[in-house]
Homo-oligomer: A and B are copies of this chain.
């Protein structure tokens, strides 16, 4: 019988449904704790990664980005969009998918939804930053912006950093109620607030995660007291920031990858020589994190390709122990690699005799 394609030509694909089941198999909090370990592993070997600022295609209402990286053995990339106006039409602001491939052969190894994975890795990365930068006795987090990322941020910081209380605020009351309801049985004490000013009262950690594509000022200078750690997560493209510049001047600022963050992060408001420390250097011990209990530390998180790579590695390892995947016939695999045409000819012959 004519072989049209062998098993070599199919790759595992993880659908949204299977991803939900994989995450539930582990438990959301444990999944993020595991992912944080993968992120720290990759932060420790940061210099060996092939790093490129994401390739962005901007349009009036949003952006589509490709985020590639490689550790020399595996290659990963993510496709991700950001369209804040989408929620008005019942669509996601951010959707994503991605893949791992072999650097040796260039062959894809794994294709997966990454909307859920991005939510998990973003929260896990905030938790890694917070664990290294916040005061160790931090227990109360203000969560400003209660959209799709908020519950993951809260649970990752509970599981990985030991926060016990989350103070919620969103300009959209429905979003705030949704977040509160989702966290009701989480073991966190949840305090809904009527303003950002109220939310930050007594907070050890302030996480901002809003989605407007404009320079908004979610956090004013007088709202940030000594000793606070800030995760500024929502500003992630040119023209999209959340913090007043005066906060940056008082803070020690930590970033993922400086060239990208200078374009996309809060520090796009600052001169190009504004001092920052890359988080991986704190993780390896090459640079200091927090040095004093009254210091304001700021993680200016925009999301970097290496974090996606980490979560793709995590998924691959989970799949080794799981059947929650489909096989996708996406790689043409003729018997003779120089003979794509012959593969078509044999398919034609098969049609004639069918």
Contacts and interface: CB of A to CB of B under 8 A. Distances in A.
Interface string A141-167: 000001111111000000000000000
Contacts of A105: 62, 81, 83, 86, 89, 91
Interface stretch (A92-100, A260-268, A280-288, A289-297): A92-100
Contacts of A48: none
A115 B99 CA distance: 17
A332 B92 contact: yes
Contacts of A151: 341
Contacts of A101: 64, 79, 81
A63 interface: yes
B20 A152 contact: no
A187 interface: no
A224 interface: no
Nearest to A152: B341
A329 B151 CA distance: 23
A108 interface: yes
Given A16-B332, A24-B348, A328-B15, A115 B340 contact: yes
A89 B336 CA distance: 10
Contacts of A347: 17, 20-21, 24
Interface residues of A, number: 86
Contact of A87 (B83, B338, B348): B338
A270 interface: no
Contacts of A343: 20
A216 interface: no
Given A55-B52, A81-B105, A347-B24, A92 B333 contact: yes
Interface string A315-337: 00000000000001111111011
Given A79-B101, A113-B332, 18 more contacts: A24-B348, A57-B68, A57-B75, A57-B103, A59-B103, A62-B105, A64-B75, A81-B105, A83-B105, A83-B106, A92-B340, A93-B337, A95-B107, A97-B108, A147-B338, A152-B341, A174-B338, A182-B339
Interface of A: 4-5, 8-9, 13, 15-17, 19-21, 23-24, 28, 50, 52, 55, 57, 59, 61-64, 66, 68, 70, 72, 75, 77, 79, 81-83, 86-87, 89-93, 95, 97, 99, 101, 103-108, 113, 115-116, 119, 146-152, 172, 174-175, 178, 182, 328-334, 336-345, 347-348, 351
17 contacts: A5-B17, A15-B330, A17-B347, A19-B332, A24-B348, A28-B341, A50-B57, A57-B70, A64-B103, A83-B105, A95-B106, A113-B332, A116-B344, A150-B341, A172-B338, A175-B338, A178-B338
